[in-house]
Amino acid sequence: MDDGDRLHSPPTELVNFVHRLADETLRDHLEERRFPRYKLTVEVWVQPVNDDFEPLGEPFTAISRDISAGGIGIMHTRAVRDKHLWLRLVTLGGGTMNVVVEVLRCRSVGMFYDIGAKFVAKLDEAAGFEVLKP
């Protein structure tokens, strides 16, 4: 996606829902995961990709819910059926982080969809990309 291209932002209802859900989850959930999760509610550019990380379908925007060293939770208005997604996140310093994730789950939560995914490749380094070790 060129920087000049702009996708529509997620609806305000989704943004508000994610803020409430992230606060409740992190406050009320006893962490039993390999990596601790941290609240991160930012707009995320998402591009479905195939097993070779080549684009499939149309990109869209979603809202992140939380992040850990191993993966990320995002929320969207539609279900995803793709195995891999390329995510572009804006960092706190204003840079971008491009990663490919493997979708582990996509479940309905009210009128939105909770997508849990693990990081499998980082696309920001030198030529090509770096496949992350499990």
Determine, yes or no, domain membership for 40.
yes
pTM score of the predicted model = 0.74
CATH number, domain at 41? 2.40.10.220
Residue 45 forms part of a structural domain = yes
Domain contains 88:
yes
Residues 102, 103, 109, CA angle at the centre, nearest 5°? 160
For residue 114, being part of any structural domain is answered with: yes
Q: Residue 102: beta bridge partners?
A: 84, 118
Better-predicted residue by pLDDT, 77 or 126: 77
What is the rounded distance in angstroms from the CA atom of residue 36 to the CA atom of residue 16?
A: 23
Whether the Cβ atoms of residue 60 and residue 90 lie closer than 8 Å to each other: no
Work out the end-to-end distance of the chain between its first and last CA atoms, rounded to an integer number of angstroms.
28
Is pLDDT at 118 greater than 50 in this prediction? yes
**Residue 87 above 70 pLDDT?**
yes
Between residues 18 and 63, the one the model is more confident about: 63
Q: Are 48 and 56 in contact (CB under 8 A)?
A: yes
